[in-house]
Amino acid sequence: MVTTPARTTRVEDTAAMLAQEFNGIFSFETIKRTTEEAAGKFQGSRVIEFVPLLTYRSAREALIAEARQQGGAAGGTGRVA
């Protein structure tokens, strides 16, 4: 995967937004890793304008699913992974 400074900044910004929502449920490292994995799915996309939004949505859905699996609820308290 090619990492550019702009991509790194977008991934970190997206992870920071998700960290606010999943505070107390997941560690920042887990959120960032999930965001990086989501961003990787869209590498090489033809329409790059939508990649940040798609990355956010994909990472958020993955984190919600993981929180549910662990027994925590997104936006509530739970254990930190």
Report helix angle 51-70 to 5-21, nearest 10.
Answer: 40
pLDDT category, 65, cuts 50, 70, 90? very high
User: CA-to-CA distance for 62 and 76, rounded, in angstroms?
Assistant: 16
Between residues 48 and 7, the one the model is more confident about: 48
Q: Residue 31: what pLDDT?
A: 97
pTM for this one? Answer: 0.78
Q: Is the pLDDT of residue 56 over 50?
A: yes
pLDDT category, 77, cuts 50, 70, 90? very low
Mean pLDDT of 58-72: 92
The highest-level CATH class for domain 5-70 is mainly alpha
